[in-house]
Amino acid sequence: MLVVMKPGATDENVAQVCRKIESMGFRPHPMPGALRTAIGITGNSGPLEPAEFETLPGVAEAIPVSKPYKLVSRELKDEPSLIPVGPPEAGVVVGGPELAIIAGPCAVESRDQIFAAADRVQRAGARMLRGGAFKPRTSPYAFQGMGEEGLQLLAEVRREFGLMIVTETIDPENCDLVEQYADVLQVGARNMQNFSLLKRVGRSKKPVLLKRGLSATLDEFLMAAEYILSEGNYNVILCERGVRTFADHTRNTLDLSVIPAVKAASHLPIIVDPSHGTGKRDKVLPLARAAVAVGADGLIVEVHPDADHARSDGYQSLYPDQFEGLMREITPIAAVLGRTTSFSPAELAARP
């Protein structure tokens, strides 16, 4: 159920509706919009009658939401959500006119590696640095990440470069630690339906980057996001990172058609990961261009200062020069769509 307030409704009118919802055993989710506030109702305390709300002051109407996902749906909020990352003075917002560019290695490997990566991606126009300190790997014998030491290096990078930090949390207990360091909590593809992790990040104050599961349908993807919003964290960024298909010329099949589908169904921003989406370095640039053209709100790209010796995902990591080329090429494509990047040829030319 969705309670739509009249344009002139007061804060007290909204509060009264919220109190009524709580008294019935449900949870209210007020979502202020440019023209009016809508209040989503979640919970499983039985059926709801629109008439219960339509008599309250300031209420325009109460309407059932037809989709299984409620809070993420465009029925609740028609305007795109803007997700602020880090402190307001950092000026980083996902879903606005500037494309969100997240770049860096698959995993934090050493101080030298992560500082070199940060230096190169920042000069090329990335505003956020990626790097896993905890790596959920297919093999238990593969490199599992540097753990807390890796998080401390990421915190140093933030102090030195002002880049916002995007790093993965792998389970609810681990989230207690990761959220102390991260600006954005990444939930990996394999964890997209780890419901206890989704609920845990839903109680965090940090924005969440939710990657699409390896075989998730659009509804399953949006329902995973719904778990996070239903716990009160509305700052969710979706990420298409390729799905499993019969195709074997790439690691995964990057499903760019999901971008307009998500945009039609949800107000949440969606970015694209062409690195895991293709698994091959030479496919990353063309798919990054396509992702921007199809309307993605940003990219997350693996870039490694010494990709040939990376401890994970080296074969799909761009060399820093290739990332600069990517930024150069996507910037005019973004402009066609009325969007910008922070790529600056002058900044690059200033490199010693």
Binding site for Mn ion (CB under 5 A): 106, 313
Rounded Cα gap, residues 127 and 313, in angstroms? 22
Q: Does 188 engage in binding with ligand PEP (CB under 6 A)?
A: yes
Rounded Cα gap, residues 140 and 304, in angstroms? 23
| Residue placing its CB nearer to ligand PEP in the complex, 4 or 270 | 270
- Please, what is the end-to-end C-alpha distance for the chain in angstroms? 58
Q: Does 281 engage in binding with ligand PEP (CB under 6 A)?
A: no
| Residue placing its CB nearer to Mn ion in the complex, 137 or 328 | 137
- Residue 304 binding target from Mn ion, ligand PEP, none, CB below 5 to 8 Å by type: none
Q: What is the CA radius of gyration of the chain?
A: 21
Rounded Cα gap, residues 265 and 80, in angstroms? 11
Binding to ligand PEP, residues 190-229 (CB under 6 A): 190, 211
Rounded Cα gap, residues 329 and 327, in angstroms? 5
Q: Which stretch binds ligand PEP (CB under 6 A): 139-147, 182-190, 315-323, 334-342?
A: 182-190
Distance of CA 3 to the CA centre of its chain: 27
| Residue placing its CB nearer to ligand PEP in the complex, 169 or 331 | 169
Instruction: In angstroms, give the least distance from the CB of 188 to ligand PEP.
Output: 3
Residue 6 DSSP one-character state: P
Name the token pair of 307. Answer: 């990709």
Q: Taking CB under 6 A as the rule, which mask of x and - marks residues 1-40 in contact with ligand PEP?
A: ----------------------------------------
Beta strands 92-94 and 83-85 are antiparallel
- Residue 211 binding target from ligand PEP, Mn ion, none, CB below 5 to 8 Å by type: ligand PEP
Name the token pair of 65. Answer: 């939401």
Instruction: In angstroms, give the least distance from the CB of 16 to ligand PEP.
Output: 43
Q: What is the helix (H) or strand (E) element at residue 63, kind and residue range? A: strand 59-63
Determine what percent of the chain falls in helix, strand and coil, rounding each to the nearest 5. 40, 20, 40
Q: What is the helix (H) or strand (E) element at residue 211, kind and residue range? A: strand 208-211
Instruction: In angstroms, give the least distance from the CB of 275 to ligand PEP.
Output: 8
CA distances from 334 to 2, 165, 296 (A): 35, 24, 10
Q: Which stretch binds ligand PEP (CB under 6 A): 169-177, 185-193, 196-204, 289-297?
A: 185-193
Residue 60 phi/psi, 5-degree rounding, is -85, -50
Q: Does 106 engage in binding with ligand PEP (CB under 6 A)?
A: yes
Per rule CB under 6 A, count of chain residues that contact ligand PEP: 8
Q: Which stretch binds ligand PEP (CB under 6 A): 5-13, 19-27, 186-194, 217-225?
A: 186-194
Question: Could you tell me if 21 and 84 are in contact, meaning their C-beta atoms sit under 8 angstroms apart?
Answer: no
- Residue 189 binding target from ligand PEP, Mn ion, none, CB below 5 to 8 Å by type: ligand PEP
Instruction: In angstroms, give the least distance from the CB of 103 to ligand PEP.
Output: 12
Task: Name residue 51's amino acid.
Answer: A
Q: Does 241 engage in binding with ligand PEP (CB under 6 A)?
A: yes
Instruction: In angstroms, give the least distance from the CB of 219 to Mn ion.
Output: 26
Residues that bind ligand PEP (CB under 6 A): 106, 132, 188-190, 211, 241, 276
